[in-house]
Amino acid sequence: MAEDINRYLRQDKLPHIWCPGCGHGTIMANMLRGFARSRLDQDKTVVVSGIGCSGRATGYLDFDTLHVTHGRALTFATGIKMANPELTVIVVTGDGDGAAIGGNHLIHACRRNIDIKVVLFNNSIYGMTAGQFSPMTPTGATATTAPYGNIDQNFDLCELTRSAGATFVARGAAQQPRQLIKIFEKGFAHRGLTFIEAITQCPVNYGRRNKLGGARDMLNWQKEHIINQTKYESLAAEERQDKIPSGILYQDKREEYTERYEKVIASARGSEN
Amino acid sequence: MKNKAGDKIKENQARIMLLQGDEAVVEGGLVAGASFFAGYPITPASEIAEGFAEKLPALGGKFIQMEDEIASMGCVIGASLAGEKAITATSGPGFSLKQENLGLGIMVEAPCVVVNVQRVGPSTGLPTSPSQGDVMQARWGTHGDHPIIALSPSTVKETIDLTIKSFNMAEKYRIPVILLLDEIVGHMREKVRIPSAAEVEIVERKRPRPEDREEFNPYQETEDHIPPMPDYGQGFRYHSTGLFHDKTGFPRGKSEDARLLMDRLMAKIDENLDDIILLEDDLKGDEEVVVLSYGSTARSAISAVTRARQEGLKAGWVKLMTVWPFAEDYVARLADRVKEIVVPELNRGQLIGEVERAACGQAGISGIHRYDGTIIPPDEILDKIKEVS
Ligand SMILES: Cc1ncc(C[n+]2csc(CCOP(=O)(O)OP(=O)(O)O)c2C)c(N)n1
Ligand code: SF4
Ligand SMILES: [Mg+2]
């Protein structure tokens, strides 16, 4: 991996706070490799994050960075992008941050197709608060707040964001860096709401409690269960049962929100004369 | 005049109009240079959103209707950090929703204006009736100690002036400023003169110079306690967070940093009370009774005092335009020389507690409180003046 990502990191803020074996660092590093390949301007890029272990990423990233309230990163990002459409705006969020408390903002940002790149670190649990279940915790798994097993149904966030109006939807995993970098590269180049679900492992607050072993075992689980979309589609229905498709799942062109607002400005000015 | 994109925009001309208070927020905001609005509809504040939706784009500004008030508050702070003069408007239920992000705005020091056209609460309450029930929420609505500025107009003309002041103070002190209207002022129509931008003082935030990029500390202590603020995208690559942080903007988890930051945030306001506290009074110096009020209630108070004087009573009035920070020293001095201070409020007694605290037993304090969605008529205040004279 030739990309030099050091220039995108605040070296003096490292080492990071994430636990040994946590997948968040892998996702962040591959996000930066994708960013390097996309050749976007570092000085014209703002990264916004909410609260959670994943949200701490903004502290390490050498851009304009904003660490906000739990679940609300997309709302701040929307203001930034609307204010200055020339900026590249990236949101780093978690499965609790982005899909529970911030779920409503996620679907509305998708609906607008505003040019924000949403990177959701999905570790299937509330990591930072020590292991309560999230909307991405599988049914039946245990969590500190689901000691008898989780009865909730989890989301398929890629289906959700696609139907809400996102125009770039992809899923990758910490265990599959090559594919992940490519997803980031393509996603960052896309104009419109870009949703990237990055599956990652929380050995401390999810793996251990669910007897999934340590980080290595959890990465092996990813290897066995997360398969490329083309391969996934070639499988029979019963073979798909315990598999998760990855890759760029959907991409489309639709007019982006700030571009549409430029037309509002033009017509408001026209009607003034 | 040019907007941020560098396009020429029409210089606004002074003009006379018949306006509602809500519309006056829009006109005043545009004079002050408002360039961004995010909001969610709610009675009795929707007219503000509607006004900005119509007027901003023609000036090269931006309007967005968000999915709720939490989102509106976040959006406004984001736009502010990107360099806009940003504003949002709501009423009770929405004001409650904004509180968490309002605290974030105070912590990252994002200039912006938050309008609350008060209606009767709690909960859905009386959506179309006036109230001054959110005075304490404006002070303490977001959790934790924090500084805040809240202004409250009593007329449409004052709404224009105080909207301009709200933007100016937000920019000057790097803080969200709350503009507390009430349903009466919001929906009342009065003939007003809208000034041109050239006639009034317009404040812009302090921005760092490009050469400051090298060693930039975004939350550096300065003589006036207000660090310069770059727009996003100018290569400063700085960090802001709702966590307590040091001058670099990063959290270190040290208790000393928490104390230093809180002290600086408070000092921005506490050391500038003369600039921030706006009030008007009509006192001859021989008053026995003074009516202290704010917002729409001041209209009844002034009319009651005028009649009391005609009847030979020694009465005067004080109208607070700045509700927070509270005019403590002023009230303390007043209490030293009058017999009674009468405080009419459209709530069960909120600002009266501050008056009592400042008066410290030196004058009698009596309240007139209405919380049923109706106004306090001048007669009622006049009766009280007579009772305590
Ligand atoms: C309004 C609010 N509610 C609750 C919390 C507590 N909280 C902090 S992080 C978090 C969950 C984060 O989970 P996730 O987004 O999955 O991030 P992870 O730590 O797993 O990366 C919660 C509930 C908070 N900070 N703010
Ligand atoms: S708690 Fe889990 S998500 Fe958080 S740093 Fe540790 S391993 Fe990572
Ligand atoms: Mg999580």
Q: What pLDDT, on the 0 to 100 scale, is given for residue A2?
A: 66
- Chain B hits for A69, CB-CB cut-off 8 Å, are 74, 100-101, 104, 242
Give the Cβ contact number of residue A13 at 10 Å: 16
**According to the model, what pLDDT value does residue B5 have?**
45
Tell whether B165 and B293 lie within a shared domain: no
User: What is the full DSSP assignment across A45-108?
Assistant: EEEEE-SSTGGGGGGTBSSEEEE-STT-HHHHHHHHHHH-TTSEEEEEEEHHIIIIITHHHHHH
CB A128, CB A36: distance < 8 Å: no
Task: Please check whether residues B83 and B178 belong to one and the same domain.
Answer: yes
Instruction: For residues A142-150, give the mean pLDDT.
Output: 98
Q: Which of residues 44-63 of B touch A (CB under 8 A)?
A: 54, 57-58, 60, 62
Do B190 and B290 share a domain, yes or no? no
The whole-number pLDDT of residue B2 equals 43
pLDDT bucket at B9, cuts 50 / 70 / 90: very low
Q: Which residue of A has its CA nearest to B232?
A: A64
Entry pTM: 0.97
What ipTM was assigned to the predicted interfaces of this complex? 0.97
Which residues numbered 90-109 in B keep a CB inside 8 Å of some CB on A? 100-101, 104, 108
Q: Do B194 and B290 belong together in one domain?
A: no
Residues 6+ apart with CB under 8 A from A116: A74, A77, A78, A81, A89, A90, A91, A109, A193, A194
- Examine the domain organization and report whether B82 and B170 are in the same domain: yes
Instruction: Please tell me whether residues B292 and B192 are part of one structural domain.
Output: no
Q: Would residue B218 count as lying in a domain?
A: no
Which of residues B175, B199, B223 is at a domain's end?
A: B199
Q: Is position B221 within any domain?
A: no
d(Cα B116, Cα B71) in Å, to the nearest integer? 16
Instruction: Verify that B61 and B164 share a domain, yes or no.
Output: yes
pLDDT at A1 over 80: no
**DSSP structure string for B149-211:** EEE--SSHHHHHHHHHHHHHHHHHHTSEEEEEEEHHHHH-EEEEEEPPTTTS---------GG
* Same domain (yes/no): B15, B164: yes
A55-109 residue pLDDT tens = 999 999 999 999 999 999 999 999 999 999 999 999 999 999 999 999 999 999 9
Give how many domains chain B has, as a whole number.
2
Q: How far is A162 from chain B (nearest CA, A)?
A: 19
Render pLDDT for A169-194 as a digit per residue (tens, 0 to 9): 999 999 999 999 999 999 999 999 99
List of domains in chain A: 17-272 (3.40.50.970)
Structural domain including B89 reads 4-199
The reply to whether B301 and B159 lie within a common domain is no
Q: Kindly state if the Cβ of A54 falls inside 6 Å of ligand 1.
A: yes
Amino acid at A143: A
A39 backbone φψ class: left, alpha, beta (φ>0; ψ -120 to 50): left
Cis preceding linkage at A20, omega within 30? no
Would B207 be classed as within a structural domain? no
Does any domain span residue B339?
A: yes
B193 phi/psi in degrees, rounded to 5: -105, 125
The CATH number of the domain holding residue B100 is 3.40.50.970
> B32, B85 in Cβ contact below 8 A?
yes
Does the beta-carbon distance from A87 to B233 stay under 8 Å? yes
Residue B17 lies in a domain: yes
Residue A245 has pLDDT above 90, yes or no: yes
B378 found inside a domain: yes
Asked, for residue B44, whether it belongs to a domain, the answer is yes
pLDDT of residue B13: 84
Q: Please give, rounded to a whole number of angstroms, the shortest distance from the CA of B121 to a CA of chain A.
A: 26
Q: Is residue B374 part of a domain?
A: yes
Residues B21 and B128 in one domain: yes
**pLDDT at position B213, please?**
95
* Distance in angstroms (rounded) separating the CA atoms of residues A108 and B67: 7
Chosen domain end from B199, B220, B238? B199
Read off the CATH number of the domain in which B378 is found.
Answer: 3.40.50.920
Q: Do both B176 and B285 map to the same domain?
A: no
- Within 8 A of B78 by CB-CB distance, chain A residues are 48, 66, 75-80, 83
Identify the H or E element spanning B93.
helix B92-108
Does A162 have pLDDT greater than 70?
A: yes
Sheet containing strand A45-49, strands side by side? A226-228, A244-251, A168-173, A194-199, A116-122, A88-94, A45-49, A64-67, B239-241
Q: Are residues B169 and B295 in the same domain?
A: no
| Cα(B44)–Cα(B179) distance, integer angstroms | 14
In sign, the C-alpha dihedral spanning B337, B342, B343, B344 is negative
Structure tokens of B115? 């309008």
pLDDT tens by residue, B328-367: 999 999 999 999 999 999 999 999 999 999 999 999 999 9
Nearest CA distance, A109 vs chain B (angstrom): 9
Asked whether A189 lines ligand 2 (CB < 6 A), one says no
Q: Please enumerate residues of A whose Cβ is less than 8 A from a Cβ of B.
A: 13, 42-44, 46, 48, 58-59, 62-69, 72, 74-80, 82-84, 86-87, 104-105, 108, 261, 264-265, 267-269, 271-272
- Give the end of a domain, one of B199, B225, B243: B199
Strand boundaries in A133-243, DSSP class E:
168-173, 194-199, 226-228
